[in-house]
Amino acid sequence: MQHAGVTVTANVSPDMADILGPDALGFVAEVERKFGARRRDLMAARAAYQKRLDGGELPLFLPETADIRNRDWTVRPAPSPLLKRAVEITGPVDRKMVINALNSGADCFMADFEDSSTPTWDNMVGGQINLRDAVAGTISFTNPANGKQYALNDDHAVLLVRPRGLHMEEKHVLVDGKPVSAGFFDFALFLWHNAKTQLANGVGPYFYLPKMEHHLEARLWEEVIAFAEDELDLERGTVRVTVLIETITAAFQMDEILYELRDHIVGLNCGRWDYIFNFIKRFARRADFVLPDRAQVGMDQHFLTSYSQLLVQTCHKRGAHAMGGMAAQIPIKNDEAANAAAVAKVRADKEREAKNGHDGTWVAHPGLIPVAREIFDAHMPGQNQLDTLRKDVQVTAEDLLKLPKGTITEAGVRGNINVGLMYLAAWLDGMGCVPIHNLMEDAATAEISRTQLWQWRTHGAALDDGRIINEALIDAFMGEEVAALKDVAFTGRNRLEDAAALFRCMVMDDELEEFLTRPAYELVLDYELADAA
């Protein structure tokens, strides 16, 4: 399918035709033509900065933006539908999930085109169809296996949409021969089809922006949003965004990110699992930054506590919401003791967030909404905690960079291999949100797993029993884990063999790949071509 310089290389089924109409794709192309080169330049700037970090440089609070940090200013006040966000649920954009999440009783639902969705063509365009129908109030679903019917309640959660990050491309859509930015594609399509309907419904187009690493990336998004509003005759500030602080450099630039997006931003969110991944990745080549087992890197570690408290302080000083992080636990059926332990972990996590001054939090499962709501209701009698300014907090660069103490164990190495393989096998088969060992995992899990293994192998880190982590040790453990997983029932097609080959490559290569999802996406494209043949 081709029109006015836009080429769609994938099959456009009849139900996709409206979403991918010439006017909608023309709008996507306008955004890409105006901002695509800037995006590519910013991705090159990330790579250049990585080389500086490899050479021994450390992140810092930028001296050239001190004036922004020191001046008094605030962001545009949040619209009324986003004043109370005590409990938000997140999940992929498949039809049943969208209905269940909107009906879950959460204040908001973040529909995710990013880390909890594999970017297959059907998932991405199907997700746009599902969200359009949800916004229109016409969405329904019948489970073909049992005939169970799902429909949207009149009273439902406020919808927020997370497009893919600036590092990803949508390779099924070419603008003037080049793949379109995946984030621009997701954002522009949703806005084109839904903004006017949402405004008529008394809400607006609300987004979560992921993987930001620099305030100049925030500036790019600000210009994209302002351009889109002008093109669609929307008043300035109609589009509202929350930015995930899930990279170490963004933690040093929270004021600047808020300032760049001040006409559109309503808050920041502690994207803590990706933050841990990014921390490992950015310092992976540094022998003095080797982290212990993932299980030992919790929010009670000093560098993560500091990041969380600085986020609350910065947001509230600027009139923005400070959202807490994800509780990945899911209820455990048929094991009361294990379920009680899981709920206790969630309760402790949410207590800490509420007491720290966060305005709300994330859960991955509807069963945990009452737990999170009870805690935030107890600690947050109003709609939010914007008046909790946390002037007691004094966070320095050293606090944000303080290495967590701990050990590396055989169980930690095996756990990274096991979870990484299970998640990647599911992702390659089109499922980006996967229950593993009673946790709802997304791409951040596999990213932490493979970057930790790469770092440990590269620096010859020692296990707590003295054994050195090298290629032979990882291969031995990996062989055993793959053999054990061969008996695990995977839904759909079994991609374990391909997952193991790719995962090993990511762990053993001399160069550390920026994002596992990029080479994994190439495999997905290969599968789609094979299926179409």
Same domain as 298, residue 425: no
Placement of tokens 């995930």 in the chain: 244
Number of domains in the chain: 2
Same domain as 420, residue 375: no
In percent, the amount of the chain with pLDDT more than 70 equals 99
Same domain as 192, residue 58: yes
Same domain as 469, residue 352: no
Give the model confidence (pLDDT) of 409-461 as tens digits.
999 999 999 999 999 999 999 999 999 999 999 999 999 999 999 999 999 99
pLDDT interval class at 490 (50, 70, 90)? low
Placement of tokens 């008046």 in the chain: 387
Q: Looking at the predicted structure, is the pLDDT value of residue 487 above 80?
A: no
Same domain as 438, residue 392: no
pLDDT interval class at 2 (50, 70, 90)? confident
How many Å apart are CA 516 and CA 506, to the nearest integer? Answer: 7
Residue 267 belongs to what H/E stretch? strand 265-270
Q: Looking at the predicted structure, is the pLDDT value of residue 489 above 80?
A: no
Same domain as 423, residue 381: no
Q: What is the pLDDT of residue 494?
A: 86
Residues 6+ apart with CB under 8 A from 326: 90, 271, 272, 273, 362, 363, 364
Domain that holds residue 414: 407-532
Can you give the CATH number for the domain in which 420 is found? 1.20.1220.12
| DSSP-assigned letters across all residues of 316-339 | HHTT-EEEEEEE-B---TT-HHHH
Q: What is the DSSP letter of 274?
A: H
Which of 366, 399, 432 is at the close of a domain? 399
Contact (CB, 8 A) for 127 and 76:
no
Give the model confidence (pLDDT) of 180-207 as tens digits.
999 999 999 999 999 999 999 999 999 9
Same domain as 145, residue 46: yes
- Angle, alpha carbons 485-487-492 (nearest 5°): 85
Which of 374, 399, 424 is at the close of a domain? 399
Same domain as 383, residue 434: no
Q: Looking at the predicted structure, is the pLDDT value of residue 492 above 90?
A: no
Same domain as 477, residue 493: yes
Burial class (CB in 10 A: 0-12, 13-18, 19+), 459: middle
Q: What is the pLDDT of residue 18?
A: 95
How many Å apart are CA 347 and CA 413, to the nearest integer? Answer: 28
How many Å apart are CA 396 and CA 132, to the nearest integer? Answer: 44
Can you give the CATH number for the domain in which 392 is found? 3.20.20.360
Same domain as 493, residue 441: yes
How many Å apart are CA 199 and CA 232, to the nearest integer? Answer: 13
Which of 380, 399, 418 is at the close of a domain? 399
Give the model confidence (pLDDT) of 238-252 as tens digits.
999 999 999 999 999
Same domain as 218, residue 96: yes
Same domain as 387, residue 436: no
Residues known to be catalytic: 162, 442
Instruction: Report the predicted TM-score, pTM, of the whole model to 2 decimal places.
Output: 0.97
Contact (CB, 8 A) for 468 and 460:
yes
Q: What is the pLDDT of residue 493?
A: 82
Encode 281-319 in three state secondary structure.
Answer: HHCCCCHHHCCCCHHHCCCCCHHHHHHHHHHHHHHHHCC
